[in-house]
Amino acid sequence: MGGGAAIGVASLLAGAARLRQLTRGAERACGAEWDHLIDAIPSARSVHILITTSPTLLATWGTRRPRILLPQDARAWTDERRRIVLAHELAHVRRGDWLAQVAADLLRALFWFNPLPWIASARLRRESELACDDEVLATGVPAVDYADHLLDIARTRRPTPAWGSAMSMARPSTLERRISAMLTCARDRRRPTRPARFAAALALLTMALPVAAIHLSAQEGPPALIVQVFDPTGAVLPGAALTLEDAQGARRQAVTEASGTIQFDDVRAGDYTLEASVVGFRTLRTPFTLAASGDWRRAITLQVGDLQETINVQAKRFTVSRAPQPGGVVEPLRVGGNIRAPKKLKHVGPEYPQAMRELGLEGVVPMEALIGKDGTVSSVRLLSAQVHPDFARAAEDAVRQWLFSPTLLNGEAVEVRMTVSVRFSLTD
C-alpha cells in the first residue's frame, strides 16, 4: 500500500505545482468588459480572475485566495459567456468545492487499492458540477443558452488533467449527463435547507458507524477475497461457478451473484488457483498470489467458448503406385519449410480508455492474433483473464484493423498466429 499511496500523493503534489506555475504566469483579467462585470457581482471582488497562457485550461482552485483560471481566448468571449463562466466558477468558490475535492483525491491516493474512493472522488466532482449548473440556471440564464455555451467551450479545447484537484467547468466525461440534467424541466434545483442537510448528515452517520464497526471487527481475522467476473464486452457474469484452491489442495466453491461478484471469506496470504466456468464460455484456470493489500480484490474476464462440429466423411483410400521414371530414377518428394514472414502494411495504435485514464489505472493486455491468408487479422484472442474489459476492448479494436502482407510457406499463402502485448501506461 505504501508504494501506491506514495505515487498517488506525488501525482497530486506535481499537479498542484503545475497549477501554481500556470497561476504565476497568468495576467489579471482587466479592461472595461471585465471591470463592469466584476462590479456587478459582489462575490467576484474577492476572487483573483486570471487569464493564463494555456489554450485549454478553465478551472478554479484555492480557498483563502481563490483563483479562477481562464484560457487565452477568454479575451474574445462575449459578455454573456463571461457572465455564465464567472457565475459557474464563483459557485464553486462559495461551495468550497476545491477543498472537498482535494480531500477526496487525497483519500483516493492513500487507499488506491480500494475502488470505492475512486468512485466517490469521480462522483463528487460530477455532483459539484451539477450543483453549480443549477446555481447558474437559478440566476435566470436559459437552459438552452447555457448548454450551447458549455458545448462550445468543450468543443474548442481538448481535455486537460485535473491538476491539483482544480474544478474544471467543461470536462467531456460529464458533459452529456450535465446537459441532460439542465434541460430537464422537472428537476428540483433548489438548494437543500439546513434541516435537510442536517438530516442527511445524521442518516449518513447512522449508516457509517455500523459499517465501520463491522469493518473493524473484520480486520481481526484474514480479509475476504472479492472476485468480479466479466464477459468480453465488459458486462458482468452472474451464475459463474468459481473454485478457489490453496497450495495444500483445499478447495472452496461459490457462484457469482447478480452483480457478477463473489466473495470468499477469511482468505490468508499465499498462493492460490482460481477456476471459473459458466455455460457458453471457456473454463478459466489461473494461478495467483495474495500478498499486497490490493490483491484481495480481483477482476477476471471469461472468453466465449469455441463452437465445434465434427463431420465424418468416409471414402475408400486412393492408392497410387509411384511409377519409376525413365532410366529407373524415382521422382524425389518435395520438402517444405521455405517460409516468408509477413510485413505489416497498416498499423492502428490503441486509444487509452477515457474511464481508465480518469481513474489513473494502467494495464498490460496480452493477445494472440490470427493473420489470415489475405493478410487481415481474422480473430483476436485474449491470453489473460486478469485484464480490465475496457483495456481489452481498446487493444482488440486496434489490432483487428492491422493489415499484413500474406505469409507464404513454400510459395503458398497460409494463416499464421502472432502474439501481441499492449501496455497501457500513464505519464505525468
Please name each of the domains of the chain with its CATH number.
Answer: 2-191 (no CATH), 225-301 (2.60.40.10), 339-424 (3.30.2420.10)
Half-sphere exposure of residue 418, counting CA atoms within 13 Å on the CB side?
26
Residue 23 neighbours by CB under 8 Å, 6+ apart: 50, 52, 67, 69
For the chain, the residue count is 428
pLDDT given at position 220: 57
Listed residue (238, 239, 388, 381) closest to 300, CA to CA: 388
Q: pTM of the predicted model, to two decimals?
A: 0.45
Tens of pLDDT, residue by residue over 396-407, are 999 999 998 887
The pLDDT score that the predictor gives to residue 264 is 93
How far does CA 399 lie from the centroid of its chain? 19
> 3-class DSSP state for residue 93?
helix
Cβ pair 23, 50 in contact under 8 A: yes
pLDDT value, residue 296? 92
pLDDT of residue 305: 52
Amino acid letter for position 256: T
For the chain, list residues with pLDDT below 70: 1-2, 42, 156-167, 169-174, 185-192, 211-221, 280, 304-341, 409-410
Return d(Cα 13, Cα 19) in angstroms, integer.
10
Strand bridging mode 225-230 / 297-301: parallel
Map residue 284 onto helix, strand or coil: strand
Predicted local distance difference test score (pLDDT) of residue 243: 94
Q: CA dihedral defined by 287, 352, 229, 237, rounded to 10 degrees? A: -150
Identity at 42, one-letter amino acid code: P
Strands (E), 112-269: 167-168, 225-230, 241-246, 251-255, 261-264
